[in-house]
Amino acid sequence: MNQLMTPQQVGAEYGVTVQELAEWRRRNIGPDYYVLGTRVIRYTPEHVERWFRDPANSRWHDFPAEAFTEGLGENDADWLSVEVHRPLTWWRATPEQLGARVADPDHGAFPRWESYDQDWKAIGRTIQDVGDVLASGVSPAGPGPDGSIRIRVHDPGLSDLELKIVRSWFGPGEAVTMDPWDSGWSDGRHRTWHAAAASDAGVLLPIRGNILGFANAADIPLLGDNWSEQFRAGLQRLKQQTWVDQMDPVNRQFQESLVLAAAGRIPPVVPSAMAPARGSLPAYVEASFPSVLDGPSPQNAPYSAPCDSPVTRSYRGVSEGTGHDR
């Protein structure tokens, strides 16, 4: 074992303060440590390095995490691969912040969702881990043709159905979807309720925004000549949601994408750090479209938007959901 590290050494190497480390210990967060005497705390370098490099812990610090995007060798079975559709359209919040929007959608009636008996606490923890990788700024594989990126997180031992639930949470057709200012869900109210009810109060639930799903070249023509005004209205409504944690990197990226759309620019599909290395990509694309079109977007059938949404149909990505969770 290498020489033990003091809290001051850990702070200097990993960019945190001694006070933060003390608060983590009080809240049972952070790398393992030893109490060697009265007010004598020591850390092992290997445990510290592993903890700071784990994307699941990235929400607590700014030290670069590791994405583990390609072959993971003999321990590959310990990891899950999850595709996240259009990562810059996501935001996240705790159940407490979401308030009444997290409620039992069946109200004691016969459940419509067939997986009530699954390990929803493990599902919630995995969903939060995926969000933490998004927040960490690492460079996962992608984007794919539909704007998805592939990331890997620790497998807590999910069953096939539990893994399906996790993947549907982030997929293009059945993603948990709602804007921060909406009063109800476009999709995912059952999954959100079960994950929140089974998890710790502070679990961070990633949610795909609705309006930003239209900030692409295929869908913007459907919004008319003044399409950017709808995004400006969404941006103003976002600013009124004072409960949204703007220190969260996922929420910052969500707002930055909305700012671009409000300015008449198409936001990037993924953060610049995730963009393909080959060639040069602009940070955004100037957009100007006619208001009269010959027909609907070939990738999206019409949908009904929530009553709170400024757009005319609910964003569901490139494929319609299977219908098992609305």
pLDDT tens digit string along 138-175?
656 657 777 888 888 888 899 988 999 999 999 988 89
Collapse the DSSP code of 266 into the 3-class scheme (helix H, G, I; strand E, B; otherwise coil) and give the result.
strand
Q: What are phi and psi of 8, to 5 degrees?
A: -65, -40
Token pair 């976002």: residue: 238
The C-alpha atoms of residue 275 and residue 217 are separated, in whole angstroms, by: 18
How does the average pLDDT of the chain come out, rounded? 76
Cross-strand partners of 154: 79
The C-alpha atoms of residue 93 and residue 102 are separated, in whole angstroms, by: 11
DSSP H/E element including 182: none
Q: Is residue 220 classed exposed, middle or buried when 0-12, 13-18 and 19+ CB atoms within 10 A define those classes?
A: buried
pTM attached to this predicted model: 0.66
Q: Return the closest-CA partner of residue 262 out of 292, 284, 293.
A: 284
DSSP category for residue 270: S
Q: What are phi and psi of 133, to 5 degrees?
A: -65, -40
CA dihedral angle for residue 190, residue 192, residue 195, residue 196, rounded to 10 degrees: -120
Name, of 42-46, 110-114, 219-223, 260-264, the range with top average pLDDT.
260-264
Q: What is the pLDDT of residue 275?
A: 46
Sign of the dihedral defined by the CA atoms of residues 144, 149, 155, 157, in that order: negative
Q: What confidence tier does 278 reach under pLDDT thresholds 50, 70, 90?
A: very low
Q: What confidence tier does 273 reach under pLDDT thresholds 50, 70, 90?
A: low
| C-alpha 211: how far from chain center | 16
Q: What confidence tier does 63 reach under pLDDT thresholds 50, 70, 90?
A: confident
The C-alpha atoms of residue 285 and residue 232 are separated, in whole angstroms, by: 17
**Degrees, nearest 5: CA angle 250-252-256:** 120
Whether the predicted pLDDT of 280 surpasses 80 = no
Q: What is the pLDDT of residue 318?
A: 34
125 close to 132: Cβ distance less than 8 angstroms:
no
User: Average pLDDT of 21-34?
Assistant: 85
The C-alpha atoms of residue 10 and residue 117 are separated, in whole angstroms, by: 42
Q: What is the pLDDT of residue 316?
A: 41
The tens digit of pLDDT for each residue in 176-206 reads 999 999 998 999 998 999 999 998 888 999 9
User: Percentage of residues in the chain with pLDDT exceeding 70?
Assistant: 72
**Degrees, nearest 5: CA angle 163-165-170:** 100
The C-alpha atoms of residue 275 and residue 278 are separated, in whole angstroms, by: 9
